[in-house]
């Protein structure tokens, strides 16, 4: 069958009815479930590492979950050594993207101030800075007077200071999706959108592929990178992964002429509120720690107003500013705010050979490329040089879903346990 090219684009239209009628029964060297930031970049790294046939499956459109709706914050100032390593790896990747691929995610180093409001905050910051220095991170303490010079838009009168790292910055989330999709196409990664994984093909404790609503795809290596749907996917193989879902809201103010387009980013940790420059105004985002976890895309307008007022207190130029845009998305989280990367294991501790988990715990922009690199390394080689991942597998969680690891204290205030997503 032949088609006339579309006059506007020169691209022949697809026969969608024919496409949907073709049942998939394919073979791949690696199947990645999830085409968000983690799954997308993971497939790129796998191809670069020599994996021949890489196929990515997503129940929706690539990047159209939380990846395209993210805030784009990228921070090295983690609260644990692991979080620091993940941030360092991610910043290095974003900074070198254009030279490597000729396309990038729009990363820019803006600097990030994590605010301190009292002596307790200052003491916690001192301990955190010592840990970060031991990991080679050039973060430092800034007194209110220096912060006022670095970030004149922030009201420093109520602050005891802040930690600051000039390496931290932000990307443009839609551009990030465009970047990984472009590189995936260039490297020959095959993508199956609107394709739901309905089961995992197992031979005893060995994965042999995935079942989808369009037929099976056989592969001896499968990576689950399903975001907040990770728990559902893992349960298809009898694996329990405490990855939950929670609403996250982002808004952009109307233009603020007194805030520079390269203004320092800010994080009010206690309120769970962060901000950065965007579209001649400020982008700000939050999660509500008192909200029951679960899927949610609607805006909680009462809480949004509360966060808008808080932003105005800390950044006086934003007081009374209108909203240009606002949106909500469901993101994933873990009880300890750390990613889940490692081999899939049943509750009895039995490893499922060839099945790898890769969840960024709601930090898809901030840690996504690092988690992707780790996931590809583990799936193909069983080891990674990014960071010590020996404690980041599912075995760290207790039967009640809580974690044996210390919680990363520099994170949005997510719940202390994950609620299952159907």
Give the tens place of pLDDT for each residue, 194-206: 999 999 999 999 9
| Position 5 pLDDT exceeds 70 | no
Q: How confident is the model at residue 14 (pLDDT cuts 50, 70, 90)?
A: very low
| Position 67 pLDDT exceeds 50 | yes
**Which residue in 182, 171, 215 sits closest to 197, CA to CA?**
215
Q: In this predicted structure, which of 69-83, 112-126, 150-164, 230-244 has the lowest mean pLDDT?
A: 230-244
Q: Tell me phi and psi for residue 92, to 5 degrees.
A: -60, -40
| Position 372 pLDDT exceeds 90 | yes
Residue 49 burial (10 A CB sphere; 0-12, 13-18, 19+): middle
Q: Where are the alpha helices (DSSP H) in 281-396?
A: 301-314, 364-381
Q: How confident is the model at residue 207 (pLDDT cuts 50, 70, 90)?
A: very high
Q: In this predicted structure, which of 94-98, 241-245, 357-361 has the lowest mean pLDDT?
A: 241-245
pLDDT at 128: 97
The residue ranking higher by pLDDT, 264 or 296, is: 264
Q: Where are the alpha helices (DSSP H) in 206-356?
A: 230-235, 301-314
What is the rounded average pLDDT for all residues in the chain? 91
Q: How confident is the model at residue 419 (pLDDT cuts 50, 70, 90)?
A: low
3-state secondary structure of 81: helix
| Position 365 pLDDT exceeds 50 | yes
pLDDT at 1: 33
pTM of the model: 0.91
pLDDT at 348: 87
pLDDT at 297: 79
| Position 20 pLDDT exceeds 90 | no
Mean pLDDT of 216-238: 94
∠387-389-390 over CA atoms, to 5°? 135
The percentage of the chain sitting over the pLDDT mark of 90, rounded to a whole number, equals: 82
Q: How confident is the model at residue 422 (pLDDT cuts 50, 70, 90)?
A: low
- Burial readout 134-143 (b: 16 or more C-beta within 10 A, e: otherwise): ebebebebbe
Which segment, 60-69, 115-124, 232-241, 285-294, is predicted with the most confidence on average?
A: 115-124
Which segment, 225-229, 243-247, 279-283, 329-333, is predicted with the most confidence on average?
A: 279-283
The contacts found for 154-157 with CB under 8 angstroms, 24 or more apart, are 154/113, 154/115, 154/264, 154/266, 154/314, 154/315, 155/313, 155/314, 155/315, 155/316
Fold classification of 107-168+245-333 (topology level): D-Amino Acid Oxidase; Chain A, domain 2 (3.30.9)
Q: How confident is the model at residue 416 (pLDDT cuts 50, 70, 90)?
A: low
CA torsion through residues 169, 280, 260, 319, sign: negative
Give the tens place of pLDDT for each residue, 153-173: 999 999 999 999 999 999 999
pLDDT at 295: 86
Mean pLDDT of 71-100: 97
Residue 60 burial (10 A CB sphere; 0-12, 13-18, 19+): middle
pLDDT at 401: 86
Strand arrangement of the beta sheet that strand 108-109 belongs to:
73-74, 169-170, 108-109
Give the residue extent of every domain in the chain: 24-106+169-242+334-422, 107-168+245-333
The residue ranking higher by pLDDT, 418 or 358, is: 358
| Position 178 pLDDT exceeds 80 | yes
The helix (run of H) or strand (run of E) holding residue 55 is strand 54-57
pLDDT at 421: 57
| Position 261 pLDDT exceeds 80 | yes
Q: May I ask the CATH class of domain 24-106+169-242+334-422?
A: alpha beta
The residue ranking higher by pLDDT, 257 or 418, is: 257
Structure tokens that stand for 222 in this block: 């499968």
For 114, residues 6+ apart whose C-beta sits below 8 A from its C-beta are 77, 125, 162, 163, 164, 267, 269, 410
Residue 385 burial (10 A CB sphere; 0-12, 13-18, 19+): exposed
The residue ranking higher by pLDDT, 39 or 290, is: 39
Mean pLDDT of 93-104: 97
Mean pLDDT of 214-222: 96
Mean pLDDT of 59-81: 93
Q: How confident is the model at residue 290 (pLDDT cuts 50, 70, 90)?
A: confident
């Amino acid at each position: 069958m032949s088609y006339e090219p579309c006059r506007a684009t020169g691209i022949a239209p697809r026969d969608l009815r024919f496409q949907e009628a073709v049942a998939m029964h394919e073979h791949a060297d690696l199947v990645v479930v999830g085409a968000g930031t983690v799954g997308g970049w993971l497939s790129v790294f796998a191809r670069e590492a020599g994996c021949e046939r890489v196929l990515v499956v997503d129940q929706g459109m690539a990047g159209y979950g939380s990846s395209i709706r993210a805030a784009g914050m990228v921070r090295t100032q983690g609260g644990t050594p692991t979080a620091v390593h993940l941030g360092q790896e991610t910043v290095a990747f974003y900074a070198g993207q254009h030279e490597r691929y000729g396309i990038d995610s729009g990363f820019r180093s803006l600097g990030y101030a994590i605010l301190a409001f009292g002596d307790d905050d200052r003491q916690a910051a001192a301990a955190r800075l010592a840990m970060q220095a031991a990991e080679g991170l050039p973060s430092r303490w800034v007194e209110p007077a220096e912060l006022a010079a670095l970030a004149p838009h922030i009201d420093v009168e109520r602050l005891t200071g802040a930690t600051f790292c000039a390496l931290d910055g932000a990307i443009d989330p839609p551009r990030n999706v465009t970047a990984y999709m472009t590189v995936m196409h260039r490297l020959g990664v095959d993508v199956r959108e609107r394709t739901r994984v309905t089961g995992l093909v197992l031979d005893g404790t060995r994965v042999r592929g995935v079942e989808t609503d369009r037929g099976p795809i056989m592969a001896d290596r499968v990576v689950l990178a399903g975001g907040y749907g990770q728990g559902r996917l893992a349960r298809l193989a009898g694996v329990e992964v405490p990855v939950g879902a929670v609403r996250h809201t982002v808004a952009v103010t109307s233009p603020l002429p007194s805030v520079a387009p390269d203004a320092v980013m800010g994080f009010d940790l206690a309120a769970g509120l962060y901000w950065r420059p965007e579209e001649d105004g400020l982008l700000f985002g939050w999660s509500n720690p008192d909200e029951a976890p679960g899927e949610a895309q609607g805006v909680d307008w009462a809480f949004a107003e509360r966060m808008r007022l808080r932003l105005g207190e800390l950044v006086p130029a934003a007081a009374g500013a209108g909203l240009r845009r606002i949106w909500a998305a469901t993101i994933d989280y873990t009880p300890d705010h750390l990613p889940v990367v490692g081999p899939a294991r049943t509750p009895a501790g039995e490893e499922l050979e060839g099945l790898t988990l890769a969840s960024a715990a709601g930090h898809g922009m901030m840690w996504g490329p690092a988690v992707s690199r780790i996931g590809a390394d583990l799936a193909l080689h069983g080891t990674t040089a990014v960071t010590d991942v020996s404690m980041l597998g599912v075995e760290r969680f207790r039967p009640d879903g809580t974690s044996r690891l210390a919680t990363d204290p520099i994170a949005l205030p997510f719940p202390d346990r994950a609620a299952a997503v159907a």
